[in-house]
Amino acid sequence: MDLLLVVNAGSSSLKFCVYSIAEAPTPALVSRGQVDGIGTHPRLRARDDGGATLADQTFGPTEIADVAAAMGRVGAWLREKYAGSNLVAVGHRVAHGGPRYSAPVIVDATVLAALERFVPLAPLHQPHHLRPMRSLAERYPGVVQVACFDTAFHRGHPEVADRYALPDDLYKEGVRRYGFHGLSYEYIARRLPSVAPEIARGAVVVCHLGSGSSMCAIKAGRSVDSTMGFTALDGLPMGTRCGQLDPGVVLYLLTEKGYSATDVEHLLYHRAGLRGLSGITNDVRDLLASGDAHARLALDYFVYRVAREIGSLAAAMNGIDALVFTAGIGENSPEIRARVCARSRWLGLEMDEAANRAGGPCISIPRSAVSVWVIPTDEEGMIAEHTLEAWRTHEGRRSHAHDGVPEPAA
Ligand code: ADP
């Protein structure tokens, strides 16, 4: 059996999915797992596609001290579990492809060096994404590795959506509105023709509402604008991130309050958003269950900002045909969906309450001017599709080269 591995590495965890690529045009999930507590209480867990436990092992902190060690441990587990199978390619989630990468790319030394240069653009994520790539390249130089970017799907934005009103030299060195969650939006865009063909060519606002939240305007399957910008801080309030903020607040914190850059970073990434507003938690389930006035305010603010951005992204597309909810909150919270839709009635949007409670996929009534959908996202599945496409192209070129047919120019 030929297998693909998808890797999504964080600061203290490494998630992975294994796919078989037998005959089907798209990869089929075989198992998924993660190593968490890296460097503290490392634990490797894995389940098959039906949810049955395949592994649950704990390790000492020094046995899996960093992400590279976690990658090595996952590699050893895969070799044992899938002995006799052939790992042909590994797909990686990478936060930042900078201005350069608008599509997935096969990783080699030049690409790794280029991705290294984008570390300052995503200092909290990019280093963790590159580490397993480097360790796999050293240990298994023959395995094809594919970098799939959170930014790539947004690279076709019109210039007015890609710019800040700042001098050109800053734009040229990379201070741009990149947008993130691109793998999630691309997955949704690819599913629309089968799930909701009537809107696939239309103007669609997708709300990716999870612990990180953003929204994307997709017209005829292509991203035209997003609520996130230079970093994954902008736009909607998130679990612990602030969302849209006047940069004057940062200046005030630095000059009047004596905050250091690290203090500001900690505030904006970890002490803000739903947690900051409520003073209680970043989990929407707990906020919904709480009777506390601050919990109510946090949710009111979240719903208000999502509804406001629907208007903004509709304006970016000169109209809106459909609204799609996805990710942890978007897929699982009928209450948040209902509240966002109630605020969006001015668009002629009418929700079907029973369909909303049942979870969709279509949750608007037939005469609604804007149809509303719930479509589960699958970022790992998107990475697997990209990795398979890149690997097949790579293999095709290699076998042509072996046949004596010259490789097409890149
Ligand atoms: P990520 O992949 O970014 O970690 P998810 O997309 O899994 O995040 O979303 C996680 C969030 O989804 C949780 O913080 C929680 O607030 C929210 N969530 C999950 N299930 C529900 C639910 N039934 N109702 C409301 N919110 C939920």
21-30, 187-196, 354-363: segment of lowest average pLDDT: 21-30
- What number is the average pLDDT over the span 160-187? 97
Whole-angstrom distance, CA of residue 17 vs CA of residue 3: 10
Report CA(327)–ligand 1 centroid distance (Å).
Answer: 7
Query: Do 47 and 139 lie in a common domain?
Result: yes
Whether 386 maps to a domain, the answer reads no
Atom of ligand 1 nearest to the CA of 239: 14
Query: Do 137 and 204 lie in a common domain?
Result: no
Whole-angstrom distance, CA of residue 214 vs CA of residue 227: 6
Query: Do 207 and 145 lie in a common domain?
Result: no
Residue 257 has pLDDT above 60, yes or no: yes
Query: Do 235 and 131 lie in a common domain?
Result: no
Look up tokens 């946090």; give the residue: 298
Whether 184 maps to a domain, the answer reads no
From the list 277, 248, 253, the residue with the least C-alpha distance to 265 is 253
List active site positions.
150
From the list 301, 341, 344, the residue with the least C-alpha distance to 325 is 341
Helices and strands (H, E) in the chain, number of each type: 15, 13
What stretch of H or E contains 72?
helix 67-81
Query: Do 222 and 365 lie in a common domain?
Result: yes
Which of 283, 299, 378 best tests ligand 1's pocket when mutated (most atoms within 8 Å of CB)?
Answer: 283
Amino acid at 295: A
Q: Which residues contact 271 (CB under 8 A, 6 or more apart)?
A: 240
Coil/strand/helix, residue 6: strand
Query: Do 83 and 20 lie in a common domain?
Result: yes
pLDDT band at 396; cut points 50, 70, 90: confident
The per-residue pLDDT for range 48-90, each reduced to its tens digit, is: 999 999 999 999 999 999 988 999 999 999 999 999 999 999 9
Whether 15 maps to a domain, the answer reads yes
Atom of ligand 1 nearest to the CA of 212: 3
Whether 117 maps to a domain, the answer reads yes
Spatial contact of 208 and 184, defined as CB atoms under 8 Å apart: yes
Whether 185 maps to a domain, the answer reads no
Q: How would you classify residue 179: left for phi > 0, otherwise alpha for psi between -120 and 50, otherwise beta?
A: left
Residue 47 has pLDDT above 60, yes or no: yes
Q: Is 290 exposed, middle or buried (0-12, 13-18, 19+ CB in 10 A)?
A: middle
Whole-angstrom distance, CA of residue 265 vs CA of residue 263: 5
- What number is the average pLDDT over the span 374-384? 97
Report CA(286)–ligand 1 centroid distance (Å).
Answer: 11
Last residue of a domain, one of 124, 149, 174: 149
Residue 259 has pLDDT above 60, yes or no: yes
Query: Do 145 and 204 lie in a common domain?
Result: no
Q: Which two tokens stand for residue 51?
A: 């949810």
Q: Which two tokens stand for residue 27?
A: 């990869």
CA dihedral for 151, 307, 208, 127, sign (positive or negative): positive
pLDDT band at 404; cut points 50, 70, 90: very low
Atom of ligand 1 nearest to the CA of 377: 6
Range of the domain at 75: 2-149
Report CA(239)–ligand 1 centroid distance (Å).
Answer: 9
Report CA(203)–ligand 1 centroid distance (Å).
Answer: 26
Q: How would you classify residue 181: left for phi > 0, otherwise alpha for psi between -120 and 50, otherwise beta?
A: left
Tell me which residue has its CA closest to atom 3 in ligand 1: 211
Whole-angstrom distance, CA of residue 161 vs CA of residue 316: 9
Spatial contact of 285 and 328, defined as CB atoms under 8 Å apart: no
Q: Is 269 exposed, middle or buried (0-12, 13-18, 19+ CB in 10 A)?
A: middle
Atom of ligand 1 nearest to the CA of 284: 16
Report CA(284)–ligand 1 centroid distance (Å).
Answer: 7
CATH at residue 32:
3.30.420.40
Which of 13, 36, 211 best tests ligand 1's pocket when mutated (most atoms within 8 Å of CB)?
Answer: 211
Whole-angstrom distance, CA of residue 145 vs CA of residue 104: 10
Whole-angstrom distance, CA of residue 229 vs CA of residue 250: 17
pLDDT band at 401; cut points 50, 70, 90: low
pLDDT band at 395; cut points 50, 70, 90: confident
What stretch of H or E contains 407?
none
Whether 176 maps to a domain, the answer reads no
pLDDT band at 258; cut points 50, 70, 90: very high
pLDDT, residue 22, reads 81
- What number is the average pLDDT over the span 14-43? 92
Query: Do 15 and 98 lie in a common domain?
Result: yes
pLDDT, residue 12, reads 83
Query: Do 293 and 367 lie in a common domain?
Result: yes
Tell me which residue has its CA closest to atom 24 in ligand 1: 333
Whether 387 maps to a domain, the answer reads no
Over the chain, what is the mean pLDDT? 93
> H helices of 163-217, where?
168-172, 182-195
**Pocket lining for ligand 1, CB < 6 angstroms:** 210-212, 239, 283-285, 327-329, 332-333
Query: Do 16 and 105 lie in a common domain?
Result: yes
What stretch of H or E contains 85?
none
Report CA(137)–ligand 1 centroid distance (Å).
Answer: 34
pLDDT band at 399; cut points 50, 70, 90: low
Query: Do 100 and 229 lie in a common domain?
Result: no
Whole-angstrom distance, CA of residue 16 vs CA of residue 200: 30
Q: Which two tokens stand for residue 393?
A: 């192209």
Query: Do 144 and 24 lie in a common domain?
Result: yes
Question: How many domains are there within the chain?
Answer: 2
CA dihedral for 283, 284, 285, 288, sign (positive or negative): positive
Whether 266 maps to a domain, the answer reads yes
Look up tokens 């803000």; give the residue: 272
pLDDT band at 409; cut points 50, 70, 90: very low
Report CA(396)–ligand 1 centroid distance (Å).
Answer: 40
Coil/strand/helix, residue 106: strand
Last residue of a domain, one of 117, 149, 181: 149
Partners of 105 in the beta sheet?
Answer: 147
Spatial contact of 259 and 212, defined as CB atoms under 8 Å apart: no
The per-residue pLDDT for range 281-307, each reduced to its tens digit, is: 999 999 999 999 999 999 999 999 999
Last residue of a domain, one of 123, 149, 175: 149
From the list 258, 264, 218, 223, the residue with the least C-alpha distance to 245 is 264
Cite the beta strand spans of 75-149 per DSSP E.
Answer: 86-94, 105-106, 144-149
